[in-house]
Chains A and B, each alone.
Chain A
Amino acid sequence: MSKVTIDRIDFDVRSIRKQFPLLAQSVRGKPLVYLDNAATTQKPQAVLDTLSHYYAAGNANIHRGVYALSQDATQAYEGARSKVAKFLNAASPTEIIFTRNATEGINLVAQTFGRSMVAAGDEVVISEMEHHSNIVPWQLLCEEKGAKLRVAPINDDGELILDELAALLGSRTRLVSIVHMSNSLGTINPVRRIVDLAHERGIPVLIDGSQAAYHMAVDVRALDCDFYVVTGHKLYGPTGIGALYGRSRLLNDMPPYQGGGDMISSVTFEQTTYNELPHKFEAGTPHIAGAIGLGAAVDFLTEVGFDAIASHERRLLDYATGMLSELPGLRFIGTAREKASILSFVLEGVHPHDVGTVVDTEGVAIRTGHHCTQPVMDRFGVPATARASLAMYNTTDEIDHLVSALSKVREVFG
């Protein structure tokens, strides 16, 4: 009980909202109710200021510059790497590789670790609830190598069936790649338990943290995972920047990802020596501004604090779940016991796309479609769902707006 009181004191959602300029706007003459956070989150002023300050006053190419501006930019870029390392509790900043997004992080592992470790007849294990970005890179790899992609099933609540996953782990399994939190169901997977099951058999584990990382504190050392990917634009940061955490032992053994400048120590036409971690995996001029912006975003998240964020979002989710359950003909897709911040649903007799258009006219932004998880749609026998997804700045008032917008759907479609 005391926790609720503490939340009220520590977490003032109105002052949080004030830090997000975009949220103040109107859409179609109605105040914007932004509930598509699982697709991307809005950006706080601190991130916007950091980006604009970098370009206005700090722009220079990094590494090897002997002049002050370049050294400052290098320091800011590497400083951002240290912030992300701390945010994920990596043992060292050298274990953080900047990528474009989580998708690129997964592709990087597939193309380097995967191509060197997976051979014909080997297996990669994923789950039925993966985003396409954690399916297709492995399909490409398996096709190239003659390896097999094995898929652990989920139950009717959208929970991973752990026994079935364990049964798939065998002597040919080279990697388990699993989502921490499902983007279409909200399910939070018992990733530490999965890592233990895999490690008992000597199998490394990649965790897709695209959704989890902005709802809960992630500690890669406590999870004991081998790879963890995040994307900046869902962490209240810029688009075009993400990060891959990799255990340094594995990263050292992996071949490089792309060739180019910055990833080498020396180049002759006969032989090239690769640079040390993390630069070995960052060819070419990186998204310097994006990385620095991501650093500001994780600072912002740390300052607000995941205890406050998680308990606010938990209350919102419970409130929204209760309110939406009252709507006639509404069926939730994804009712896991362990879930966060995602309300995926269908309304009987109305296609999700029509639901999305109707609520949009009330200023409410939700996503409709398959959410890049077509196998999940197939599993639940629906072509698509409507999905409202919550972030730290959402309010119970906004949930009320969503509910009233959804009642308009019934007015139109009967």
Chain B
Amino acid sequence: MSELRDLYQEVILDHNRSPRNFGHLDDANRRADGHNPLCGDRLDVTVKVVEGVVTDLRFKGSGCAISKASASLMTEAVKGKTIDEFNELFDYFHRLVTDETLSVDERALGKLAVFSGVRDYPARVKCAILAWHTLKSAVSDSQEVVSTE
């Protein structure tokens, strides 16, 4: 069971049960859909960006515990950050779940550090990074800008 607890840490189980910032952001000016056809996960991320800062965001969709908790914790971590700061965090998170040599800097990562267990489960990496890729596409791709009427 201990091996499993490394992956399914309490924080992850908690965010899976009660995801934060779950739903649709009515005054969003960016959005993107994420889809992981491998496991059928679907994610919809709505974001409000004001002068390069992510002022608010929500996510909606179905997925496994890892993908749901990752989306939930991501929304908490990114709210109030600039897009540049998000991009930096994106790269760091990506390394956190894939790079076995990376030492986990809990101060820089905060609660996101709980995802370090994912690197032992290569099949689950895609679950952990789906929300991040979706948000990246929402904030960086002008094609994804949607009207908020």
Cβ of A412 and Cβ of B39 under 8 Å apart? no
CB distance from A413 to the nearest CB of B (A): 7
**Which residues of chain A have C-beta atoms less than 8 A from B124's C-beta?**
353, 357
Cβ of B1 and Cβ of A408 under 8 Å apart? yes
Cβ of B1 and Cβ of A353 under 8 Å apart? no
Cβ of B42 and Cβ of A412 under 8 Å apart? no
CA–CA, A408 and B4, complex, Å: 10
Question: A interface, how many residues as a size bin?
Answer: 20 to 34
**Which residues of chain B have C-beta atoms less than 8 A from A358's C-beta?**
4, 8
Cβ of B64 and Cβ of A412 under 8 Å apart? no
Cβ of A370 and Cβ of B40 under 8 Å apart? yes
| Proximity string of chain A (381-395) to chain B, C-beta cutoff 8 Å, 1 when within and 0 when not | 001100000000000
CB distance from B129 to the nearest CB of A (A): 14
CA–CA, A357 and B64, complex, Å: 11
Residues 36-82 of B at the A interface (beta carbon under 8 Å): 37-42, 62-66, 68
**Which residues of chain A have C-beta atoms less than 8 A from B4's C-beta?**
358, 361, 408, 412
CA–CA, A406 and B78, complex, Å: 35
Given the interface pairs A351-B63, A353-B127, A408-B1, the reply to whether A413 lies near B38 with Cβ below 8 Å is no
Cβ of A354 and Cβ of B1 under 8 Å apart? no
- Tell me if B91 is interfacial: C-beta within 8 Å of chain A: no
Cβ of B64 and Cβ of A377 under 8 Å apart? no
In the complex, the chain B residue whose C-beta lies closest to that of A355 is B64
Residues 1-36 of A at the B interface (beta carbon under 8 Å): 28
Residues 83-127 of A at the B interface (beta carbon under 8 Å): none
In the complex, the chain B residue whose C-beta lies closest to that of A370 is B40
- Tell me if A50 is interfacial: C-beta within 8 Å of chain B: no
- Tell me if A177 is interfacial: C-beta within 8 Å of chain B: no
CB distance from A332 to the nearest CB of B (A): 18
Cβ of B40 and Cβ of A384 under 8 Å apart? yes
Which of A28, A377, A383 interacts with B41 by CB under 8 Å? A383
Which of A383, A411, A413, A414 interacts with B39 by CB under 8 Å? A383
CA–CA, A357 and B39, complex, Å: 12
- Tell me if A369 is interfacial: C-beta within 8 Å of chain B: yes
Cβ of A351 and Cβ of B3 under 8 Å apart? no
Residues 1-54 of B at the A interface (beta carbon under 8 Å): 1, 3-4, 7-8, 13, 16, 37-42
Given the interface pairs A351-B65, A353-B124, A353-B127, the reply to whether A368 lies near B13 with Cβ below 8 Å is no
In the complex, the chain A residue whose C-beta lies closest to that of B65 is A354
In the complex, the chain B residue whose C-beta lies closest to that of A382 is B40
Q: How many chain B residues touch the partner (CB < 8 A)?
A: 23
**Which residues of chain A have C-beta atoms less than 8 A from B65's C-beta?**
350-351, 354, 413
CA–CA, A414 and B20, complex, Å: 20
**Which residues of chain B have C-beta atoms less than 8 A from A414's C-beta?**
13
CA–CA, A231 and B38, complex, Å: 22
Cβ of B3 and Cβ of A369 under 8 Å apart? no
Cβ of A353 and Cβ of B3 under 8 Å apart? no
Which of B7, B8, B62, B121 interacts with A383 by CB under 8 Å? B62
CA–CA, A408 and B39, complex, Å: 21
Cβ of B7 and Cβ of A357 under 8 Å apart? yes
CB distance from A388 to the nearest CB of B (A): 17
In the complex, the chain A residue whose C-beta lies closest to that of B123 is A357
Which of B8, B38, B41, B66 interacts with A412 by CB under 8 Å? B8
Residues 295-339 of A at the B interface (beta carbon under 8 Å): none
Given the interface pairs A351-B63, A354-B66, A413-B65, the reply to whether A368 lies near B3 with Cβ below 8 Å is no
CA–CA, A370 and B41, complex, Å: 11
CA–CA, A351 and B64, complex, Å: 5
In the complex, the chain B residue whose C-beta lies closest to that of A356 is B123
**Which residues of chain B have C-beta atoms less than 8 A from A413's C-beta?**
8, 13, 16, 65
Cβ of A353 and Cβ of B121 under 8 Å apart? no
**Which residues of chain A have C-beta atoms less than 8 A from B127's C-beta?**
353
In the complex, the chain B residue whose C-beta lies closest to that of A369 is B39
Cβ of A368 and Cβ of B8 under 8 Å apart? no
Give 22 A-B contacts (CB < 8 Å), ordered by A residue.
A28-B3, A350-B65, A351-B63, A352-B39, A353-B64, A354-B64, A354-B65, A357-B7, A358-B4, A368-B39, A369-B38, A370-B37, A383-B39, A383-B41, A383-B42, A384-B39, A384-B40, A408-B1, A412-B1, A412-B13, A413-B65, A414-B13
Interface residues of A (CB under 8 A from B): 28, 350-354, 357-358, 361, 368-370, 374, 377, 383-384, 408, 411-414
Known: A357-B124, A412-B13, A414-B13. 8 other contacts (CB 8 A): A351-B68, A354-B8, A358-B4, A361-B4, A369-B39, A370-B40, A383-B39, A413-B8
